[in-house]
Structure 1
Amino acid sequence: MSLRNISFTLLVALLAIMASAVFISPNLSLLHQLIELGLATFSSPFIATFIPYSIGGRRHHHHHNKHPSDGKIVNICEDFPPDFPPPDTNTTSTICVDRNGCCNFTTVQSAVDSVMNFSQKRTIIWINSGIYYEKVTVLKYKQNITFQGQGYTSTAIVWNDTAKSSNGTFYSGSVQVFSNNFIAKNISFMNVAPIPSPGDIGAQAVAIRISGDQAFFLGCGFFGAQDTLHDDRGRHYFKDCYIQGSIDFIFGNARSLYENCQLISMANPVAPGAKGINGAVTAHGRISKDENTGFAFVNCSLGGTGRIWLGRAWRPYSSVIFSYTSMTDIVVPEGWNDFNDPTRDQTIFYGEYNCLGAGANMTMRAPYVQKLNDTQASPFLNVSFIDGDQWLQSFIN
């Protein structure tokens, strides 16, 4: 695992510990809370990236801080361009969010709420660097919205609901998107609820639920443990993203293409020679043969810790394909699991095509797993799988 990956794991653990302190000590700055918890000495470069944007709190009217080196008073908003946000055009409007009050809004939710219902224009919500500790919902009629962060190591929306605290896994998402034509770029979505052990009741904790059609995620991060990314329904494209979790950390019944993404298991390390399995990448929920859904992974990498399955058959017609994907030896030789229901072996569609790495050896794969040939793999290798030629091009431009 790279230093950046380790840093993100430390941050998730750090925020999980901090979550209760945020509410216990609402008048303390994040830095003071870190000192109280004895955690302010973390030297991780990634945590160092996040912390400076989190210690100021909200300052709606007082935008001056002492410079840390010389004690001089400086304007904390001085880095903003004079003409930002840019003026509206016929096709886009831009509003911005900054925790220190340097923008139109101090919270992401207030910016979302300001967008006109059923707007035909795209609204770009430019979100400044920092940790936004709030639960965000984009309702169905708030369409054509873009979340534009400053880098997935710099901007994050964070909450800590669980299935137990929110009356169901489906409602636990730190961010929940029900609208169509949603875009997110260069931002992270995090759920910092305590990391569960396999079998824990009510501990599922979703970072984002995406339930609208035609969504595009570029350069985004998704952080959690069990059920990190609820890829619920609709057609979605994930490109150059970082997705971390432990158990079923990509789940749902959407039709989605994941391209050039890093998939990182944070399941507990397993002793050499141990046979236990404590994680799974996917749990696709296709219910019937008449549904046109599935997860396709192309040119991705899979690594991290634990001993994991590529997928579990959450529903009888579960459909997942890995192509040109590098897999480390954390993948168990059988590769997949039928949810302990052999009747699903005849209906699930699990395929692999030209994958590589120690975890991609198909010699001992479960008998229902298909080693795809060129013709069989072709429909799952590009954006045509999600009808991207009909809607995605305008998003990328």
Structure 2
Amino acid sequence: MASLYVLLALSQAEAETTQGSTAILITVDQSGKGDYEKIQDAIDAVPSNNVDLVFIRVKPGVYKEKITVPADKPFITISGTRAVDTIITWNDSGDIFESATFSVLASDFIGRYLTIQNTYGSGGKAVALRASGDRAAFYVCRILSYQDTLLDDTGRHYYNNCYIEGATDFICGNGASFFEKCHLHSITNGGGAITAQRRMSPSEDTGFFFFGCKITGVKTAVLGRPWGVYSRVIFAFTYMPNIILPQGWNDWGNSADQLSSVYYGQYKCSGPGAVTSKRVDWSRVLTSEEAAPFITKDSIDGKAWIRAAPTSFKKKAFPPKN
């Protein structure tokens, strides 16, 4: 019964959204007591062009799988019960789009209480999570790698109470993403960038917006560097320790003309690393009016699509286990 209560419990963030509804329940259990023993098999069982809410409950275990949620399978939730007990792991490097342990290509996806990791280490691009679908949300997940940990590629995304660890550009891509109460941990040997946002045009409504987050690290780091000439990153109400270098940001070799279109800002951050007196002159200390568009989930139109956990479940016949 305890696990059922965990499944039905709503996080505070989820409770703020629209009420949950009934979902089809699929159970993944490595012991063979569920519907499937592998997470990918459970995803594969969901029909193409799915229109139902599907809740894939993953029992504790270490799942050595390279997982893809295809674009034609929306409305899937994959949930553990505790992130430290439900670990999805792979070891791959190379192309930034192909190396990911876990790739979300579908819209309306939710990940909950999962550890997603790429154990490749230093020396190459090694993505743990690739988020390339629209309207994806992640709650209390641990996302771990070294370089390019979270490829927040494209679409609107919401991260709540997630732990994200890496060294080089470890939150990167061109998503429109709101990070609420997340913990960002830098493991760089010194000077590595936390973000590399790739907005390429002023017409793109994208950017990384951090609200009420916490930064930690083992050595020095910068808040970000511009992958795109219109790169946009905002930190608000975020704790920054003294590992953040006084300049705050790295220019990545861009010219002064290119940097003039970058939009990097802070608003009411705290900690010794949040001091702005020595920041690069192309970053900003935002006023309340300037910060307002970026410090709520409205920045990603969240009220229209962030949904609560389902309140009831039903079973449905799916293809048998292999």
Query: By the TM > 0.5 criterion, same fold?
Result: yes
CA contact (8 A) 2:21 2:310 kept: no
Structure 1 distance, partners of 2:152, 2:273, is: 24
* AA aligned opposite 2:302: G
Partner of 2:12: none
* Aligned with residue 75 of structure 2, among 126, 133, 144: 144
CA contact (8 A) 2:67 2:103 kept: yes
* AA aligned opposite 1:327: M
* AA aligned opposite 1:331: I
CA contact (8 A) 1:172 1:205 kept: yes
Regions of 4+ moved over 3 Å? 393-397
Structure 2 distance, partners of 1:358, 1:137, is: 40
Structure 1 distance, partners of 2:157, 2:281, is: 30
Partner of 1:372: 286
Q: For 1:38-49, what aligned pairs fall within 5 Å after superposition?
A: none
Post-superposition CA distance 1:211-265 (Å, at most 9, x none): 0000110111100011000000000000011100000000000000000000001
Partner of 2:200: 287
Structure 2 distance, partners of 1:294, 1:326, is: 20
Q: For 1:158-169, what aligned pairs fall within 5 Å after superposition?
A: 158-163=89-94, 168-169=95-96
Structure 2 distance, partners of 1:390, 1:297, is: 20
Q: Does 1:390 align with 2:304?
A: yes
Partner of 2:238: 325
Structure 2 distance, partners of 1:247, 1:386, is: 25
SS in 2 for 1:328: coil
Structure 2 distance, partners of 1:80, 1:355, is: 38
- The verdict on how the C-alpha distance between 1:102 and 1:80 changes in structure 2, with shifts beyond 3 A counting, is farther
* AA aligned opposite 1:212: G
* AA aligned opposite 1:193: Y
Tell me which moved more, 91-100 or 245-254: 91-100
CA contact (8 A) 2:23 2:310 kept: no
* AA aligned opposite 1:333: P
Post-superposition CA distance 1:340-390 (Å, at most 9, x none): 112321100000000010110101000010000100001111110000121
Post-superposition CA distance 1:80-127 (Å, at most 9, x none): 88xx9xxxx984101011112111111111010000111111111100
Structure 2 distance, partners of 1:80, 1:241, is: 21
* Structure 2 gap ranges (5+): 8-19, 312-322
**What is the RMSD computed on CA atoms of the aligned residues?**
1.9
SS in 2 for 1:377: helix
SS in 2 for 1:189: strand
TM-score by length of 2: 0.88
CA contact (8 A) 2:116 2:129 kept: yes
Partner of 2:172: 251
* Aligned with residue 352 of structure 1, among 243, 262, 266: 266
- The verdict on how the C-alpha distance between 1:90 and 1:286 changes in structure 2, with shifts beyond 3 A counting, is closer
Partner of 1:265: 186
CA contact (8 A) 2:111 2:137 kept: yes
Structure 1 distance, partners of 2:310, 2:206, is: 23
Q: For 1:1-397, what aligned pairs fall within 5 Å after superposition?
A: 91-163=22-94, 168-196=95-123, 203-268=124-189, 277-342=190-255, 343-394=257-308
Number of aligned residues: 296
TM-score by length of 1: 0.72
Structure 2 distance, partners of 1:278, 1:243, is: 17
* AA aligned opposite 2:31: N
- The verdict on how the C-alpha distance between 1:316 and 1:95 changes in structure 2, with shifts beyond 3 A counting, is same
- The verdict on how the C-alpha distance between 1:396 and 1:114 changes in structure 2, with shifts beyond 3 A counting, is closer
SS in 1 for 2:291: helix
Structure 2 distance, partners of 1:294, 1:321, is: 8
SS in 2 for 1:237: strand
Residue 338 (structure 1) shift: 2.0
CA contact (8 A) 2:3 2:81 kept: no
Q: Which fold has the larger relative contact order, with Cα–Cα distance below 8 Å and residues 6 or more apart in sequence?
A: 2
SS in 1 for 2:26: strand
* AA aligned opposite 1:378: A
